[in-house]
A and B are shown apart, each in its own frame.
Chain A
Amino acid sequence: MTVAFDGVSVMLDRAEVLRDVSGRVERGEWLTVIGPNGAGKSTLLRALMRLVKATGSITLDGVETARMRARDLARRLALVPQTPAMPVTMTVSEYVLLGRTPHLGYLARDGDGDREAAAEALYRLDLESFARRRLGTLSGGEQQRAVLARALAHRAPVLLLDEPTASLDIGRSQEVLELVDELRREQGLTVVATMHELTLAGQYADRLLLLDRGRVVAHGEPRDVLTEELVAHHYGASVRIHEDRDGLVVVPARL
């Protein structure tokens, strides 16, 4: 499914958080939005999900999201939020099953197919042994995997990931990103993510979109966006960027 946004602007409390942001992600493509704190990365994802009021045009396969019913939109987009609410007394499997909500009638119960999807997602994230545990008893990383499992159980053609690896160690971060990449290659999943870890961002995304103070300042392949000059200018950071066989490596340099 192709996600396109054109001239998107968002005002929050009279402050312009996004201004005239445009981009396009084809089916099976991975776009990662990067930028310093407060650049508007999460707001862009929220605008795509229609959680904030935005002007401009946002389309899925050419259809304006503003004209879709809430449930139709929810079936197409699965969101992994940056700071998800964790109902601590709910079990992991109950939580993951909630990812099926857009596919169920308003008052319907989940069926065998829904539980199958949830079990599949638990399996993919290696969470089967946690299925009956309460969310409150899980570590931060395990909770993050439960959130991802919920998004996978959703089985939407577009995955929106807001800082998906923020609370994961380096091994789990790789596992999760590899899993998403696998789904993207095998199933044509369209991925829009935000990330702070620039090396990982460059390794997994087809294209990067660099935001600063709500505007697009660079957009293109990782090698075009991850330059020492752009990072220094927009992040105020001193870095050295090397290229090795896995892509670009962004290393902080002492000032």
Chain B
Amino acid sequence: MGEAAELSVAVPRTRAVPRPTRRRTWPWYLGGILFVAVAVVCGLLVGPADIGYSPLASELASHVPFLGVHSRLSDTDSAILWQIRAPRVVMGLLVGALLSIAGASYQGTFRNPLADPYLLGVAAGAGLGATIALVYGSGSAWGNDLLPVASFIGGAAAVALAYVVGRAAGGTARTAALVLAGVTVASFLTAIQTFVQQQHADTLQSVYSWILGRLDTAGWHDVLLLLPYAAISVFVLLLHRRVLDVLALGDDEAAALGVNVGRVRLLLVAAATLGTAAAVAVSGLIGFLGIIVPHFVRLVAGGSYRIVLPLSLLVGGGFLVFADIVARTVLSPAELPIGVVTAFFGAPFFAIVLRTSRGVTG
């Protein structure tokens, strides 16, 4: 069967049809990029060693070819900047961006405003993987490398298991069955994790600190570890931003518009899980970000995923960099778990946003 001819609804007009305009979105993107830029500069400046604005500016300018600017930073400060702070800032951007865009995608895929990146059991699976690595691998020579790998495999495997169970229960298009399967798998894996942890009380402290999340990383190594997964996840999710709008109409209407709902949902869950599991593997469990950032974006910039996804990416990245600044300065030289900071500052802030924009949530 060939292409169906489009039916025209044009009729003799009694008044002019307004020229269709594309919604102006660039001010939002500009705002998001500025927010990220400010976060990066603050993240590079703030810390126990005082670097200062103008030496930082000269250092950054000295890396721009043909400017001929010489850095005024000492070798020590330069090392602090490039080997300690910069990777930590980049890590904050990547993890914050990944968790936020994954949260937004889960909310769209499951049409559930409470969905977060951990909905289908990533956290429980990664927690079990990390616990096993900390308990059984900490003595070995490759113990440090084992932790991210084990938590990544645990997180991804948990979601795959939830998907298989949910699909068997309700078919690919049934979101409730999938969410229930996620809850079931998460409870089961958490039980195993608690059991293993109880048997090895000596590792309790390190397991607990992993669960609360941290960006205290091994420099660029972890960034490079995360980068390929982040790139694939973000690329696939951003490509689907219009399709996510169609899913917002519900399974039946999306299917009536020609979208293969089951296949799209599988692809979106896989991409979001890849990013989440990779983020969790290097930074532990950072809560609340995946819910608060997309909802904040919806409240201020509108509910279409065409803007929610890219803007969540920017806002989430910048927000986590700021949260990390708080985490490492409030009790300096000790560090607060970053998950505590995101929830402690995020929750009241979000409550204010929620109150001032009544009637547009849902």
Chain A residues packing against B (C-beta within 8 Å): 1, 46, 49-51, 61, 63, 68, 70-77, 79, 81, 84-85, 87-91, 93-94, 98-99, 101-104, 106-107, 109-110, 112, 115-121, 123-124, 128, 132, 134, 136-137, 152, 154-157, 182-183, 186-189
Interface residues of B, CB < 8 Å — how many?
A: 46
Residues of A within 8 A of B7 (CB): 155-157, 183, 187-189
Q: Complex: how many Å from CA A102 to CA B243?
A: 11
B6 in contact (CB, < 8 A): yes
CB pair A89–B1 under 8 Å, yes or no, is: no
Chain B contact surface mostly: loop
CB pair A72–B4 under 8 Å, yes or no, is: yes
Given A51-B256, A70-B258, is A107 in contact with B243 using a C-beta cutoff of 8 Å? yes
Given A121-B9, A128-B18, A136-B360, is A93 in contact with B259 using a C-beta cutoff of 8 Å? no
Q: Complex: how many Å from CA A94 to CA B8?
A: 20
A66 to chain B, nearest CB (A): 13
| A-facing residues in B132-157 (Cβ within 8 Å) | none
B265 in contact (CB, < 8 A): no
CB pair A186–B303 under 8 Å, yes or no, is: no
Residues of A within 8 A of B248 (CB): 85, 87, 90
CB pair A77–B18 under 8 Å, yes or no, is: no
B169 in contact (CB, < 8 A): no
Residues of A within 8 A of B246 (CB): 98, 101
Q: Complex: how many Å from CA A136 to CA B4?
A: 34
CB pair B249–A87 under 8 Å, yes or no, is: yes
Residues of A within 8 A of B240 (CB): 107
Residues of B within 8 A of A46 (CB): 252
Q: Complex: how many Å from CA A24 to CA B66?
A: 76
B243 to chain A, nearest CB (A): 7
- Which residue of chain A has the shortest Cβ distance to B15 in the bound complex? A123
Q: Complex: how many Å from CA A103 to CA B6?
A: 9
Q: Complex: how many Å from CA A104 to CA B299?
A: 28
CB pair B253–A123 under 8 Å, yes or no, is: no
Q: Given B11, B23, B239, B257, which contacts A101 in the complex, CB threshold below 8 Å?
A: B257
- Which residue of chain A has the shortest Cβ distance to B242 in the bound complex? A109
Q: Complex: how many Å from CA A89 to CA B304?
A: 7
Residues of B within 8 A of A49 (CB): 256
CB pair A90–B245 under 8 Å, yes or no, is: yes
Given A107-B240, A136-B360, is A81 in contact with B253 using a C-beta cutoff of 8 Å? yes
Residues of A within 8 A of B255 (CB): 50-51, 70
CB pair B253–A84 under 8 Å, yes or no, is: yes
- Which residue of chain A has the shortest Cβ distance to B6 in the bound complex? A155
Q: Given A74, A93, A109, which contacts B257 in the complex, CB threshold below 8 Å?
A: A74
Q: Complex: how many Å from CA A155 to CA B304?
A: 23
CB pair A94–B362 under 8 Å, yes or no, is: no
10 A-B pairs besides A70-B258, A187-B7 with CB distance below 8 A are: A81-B256, A84-B249, A84-B250, A90-B303, A98-B245, A107-B239, A115-B22, A119-B17, A120-B10, A123-B17
CB pair B362–A89 under 8 Å, yes or no, is: yes
CB pair A70–B260 under 8 Å, yes or no, is: yes
Residues of B within 8 A of A63 (CB): 1
Residues of B within 8 A of A128 (CB): 18
| A-facing residues in B330-362 (Cβ within 8 Å) | 359-362
Residues of B within 8 A of A79 (CB): 253, 256
Residues of A within 8 A of B22 (CB): 115
CB pair A88–B360 under 8 Å, yes or no, is: yes
CB pair B20–A118 under 8 Å, yes or no, is: yes
Please indicate which of the listed interface residues B7, B245, B246, B250 has the most CB atoms of chain A within 10 Å of its own CB. Answer: B7
Q: Complex: how many Å from CA A85 to CA B249?
A: 5
Closest 7 CB pairs of A and B: A89-B303, A74-B258, A115-B20, A71-B258, A85-B250, A119-B20, A88-B362
B302 in contact (CB, < 8 A): yes
- Which residue of chain A has the shortest Cβ distance to B5 in the bound complex? A157
Q: Complex: how many Å from CA A106 to CA B239?
A: 10
- Which residue of chain B has the shortest Cβ distance to A186 in the bound complex? B11
- Which residue of chain B has the shortest Cβ distance to A50 in the bound complex? B255
B88 in contact (CB, < 8 A): no
